[in-house]
Structure 1
Amino acid sequence: MAAGRRKLRNPLALAVLVLLAERSPMHPYEIAQTLRRRGKEYSIKINYGSLYTVVQNLEKHRFVEVADVQRQGNRPERTRYALTPAGREEMLDWMADIVAVPVHEFPIFETALCLMGVLPPDEVTALLEQRVNTLEVQAAGLRGALAKLCETLPRVFVVETEYQLHMIDAEVQWVRGFLKEMTDGTLEGLDGWRAWHATGRLPQEWEQLEGEDHSRGDAADA
């Protein structure tokens, strides 16, 4: 089933299905504790308060079912859930789609990069330097968390954190290279960018680019 036609698209729902495939039955509290022990809050947006709602939605679509209800003394009842055959099929199909099919997710940083010309170059330089510093702090925190997780978990359970670190390191490397071009003046278009903010007028060469784009569009429509 294509991702856009799925009955549920919340990644937390997929995590619940996977954990129930590993071990059934479980109640939502056990699922939350397992996700917490494995450090999955670094990879999945986990709202533990909404976990019960996610499980109820999975039950509504018959991807999970009630296995039993535990009663221990004066404690509240705990409903334990198991994966259904339909839930297993959905989980496997969903996972295959995510792993095999790249999806452009329109990261907000890319949006900022494509519109950053509205800010003066010197301000962008300062902001990107601030971003690099923040990313390096995040990377240090992730490295510490990864080392801690690796003390108790096999690598297969933490590869997503390795991936996150790799992506942060790659972003830092790219931003540093871009910053170098800005500070040493070798970035193509930098003079026009500065002139725009100094005069308030769009550089002539930029206006010409707009005209070329319209010409190409008219030719394509002809």
Structure 2
Amino acid sequence: MEKRRKVANPLALAVLAELLVEPMHPYEIGRRLKEHGKDRNIKYNRGSLYMVVEQLKKAGFLTEQETLRDTQRPERTVYALTGEGRHEFHDWMRELVAEPRQEYPHFGVALSLLSALPPAEAAELLTRRLAALTAETEEIRADVRATQEGGVPWVFLVEEEYRLAVLEAECRFVTKLIGSLEQPEYVRAWQEIFGRHT
């Protein structure tokens, strides 16, 4: 069963992961998240990053290690992971990796209501979606290939491999769904139910 977390934002988990390596200030955390491509999986901006760091500190997962002052830049606080923060990271990761959870993607909502659209329109919209999915898949493949050729170990690309697998599965599903929507039996059935209201 999913635990109730003191700080449940996925950005918090990414911050804890970065601080496992070494203490750093939020600006550096943000730079590394972007450098490591985590911004493709976790939505954030500078303000939300600083807010999450503050929440993690209040929860006892981070501590201020030092404040750096130099004349060129504003004062910067370096944060370090506490023992409780390290435990929270590992516990949360074990939960996320081992326990599937119900997620509610927008596409799932659209699919649950798809029968309300005329079959030809639904098929045309799904064809557009398929083109976008195919383009995204090709882009990810190219990025993964280039990154691997740059010597990055596979484990640092595992989230991209997962995204590829999900996109490829969705492409297969959408292709099949388009074919089903174009079946004459479905078109007739839809017209019997909805045709008189259009």
Say whether residues 1:153 and 2:183 are aligned partners: no
In structure 1, distance between residues paired with 2:152 and 2:21: 15
Residues 173-188 of structure 1 correspond to what in structure 2 (within 5 A)? 173-185=172-184
CA contact (8 A) 1:26 1:81 kept: yes
One-letter code aligned to 1:31: I
Q: 1:80 corresponds to which residue?
A: 78
In structure 2, distance between residues paired with 1:144 and 1:77: 40
One-letter code aligned to 2:105: P
CA RMSD of aligned residues (A): 1.7
In structure 2, distance between residues paired with 1:41 and 1:138: 16
CA contact (8 A) 1:38 1:153 kept: no
Once the 2 structures are TM-superposed, how far is the Cα of residue 117 of structure 1 from its aligned partner?
Answer: 1.2
CA contact (8 A) 2:63 2:82 kept: yes
Say whether residues 1:126 and 2:131 are aligned partners: no
In structure 2, distance between residues paired with 1:65 and 1:175: 48
For the residue of structure 2 that corresponds to 1:75, the secondary structure is coil
Once the 2 structures are TM-superposed, how far is the Cα of residue 106 of structure 1 from its aligned partner?
Answer: 1.5
Once the 2 structures are TM-superposed, how far is the Cα of residue 179 of structure 1 from its aligned partner?
Answer: 1.2
Uncovered stretches (5+) of structure 2, i.e. residues with no partner: none
Q: 1:50 corresponds to which residue?
A: 48
Uncovered stretches (5+) of structure 1, i.e. residues with no partner: 202-222
CA contact (8 A) 2:119 2:182 kept: no
Aligned residues: 197
Once the 2 structures are TM-superposed, how far is the Cα of residue 193 of structure 1 from its aligned partner?
Answer: 1.1
In structure 2, distance between residues paired with 1:148 and 1:33: 21
CA contact (8 A) 1:38 1:149 kept: no
Identical aligned pairs, as a percentage? Answer: 41
TM-score under structure 2 normalisation? 0.92
Deviation string 1:110-143 (CA, Å, 9 cap, x unpaired) is 1111111111111101110011011112212222
Query: In structure 2, do the counterparts of structure 1 residues 144 and 92 end up closer, same or farther at CA, with 3 Å as the change threshold?
Result: same
After TM superposition, which residue ranges in structure 1, 4 or more long, deviate above 4 angstroms? none
For the residue of structure 2 that corresponds to 1:102, the secondary structure is coil
One-letter code aligned to 2:156: F
Deviation string 1:10-59 (CA, Å, 9 cap, x unpaired) is 00000010111122x11111111111111111111232331111101100
CA contact (8 A) 2:25 2:79 kept: yes
TM-score under structure 1 normalisation? 0.83
The structure with the larger Rg is 1
CA contact (8 A) 1:28 1:55 kept: yes
Residues 66-145 of structure 1 correspond to what in structure 2 (within 5 A)? 66-145=64-143
CA contact (8 A) 1:43 1:161 kept: no
In structure 1, distance between residues paired with 2:2 and 2:193: 43
Q: 2:188 corresponds to which residue?
A: 191
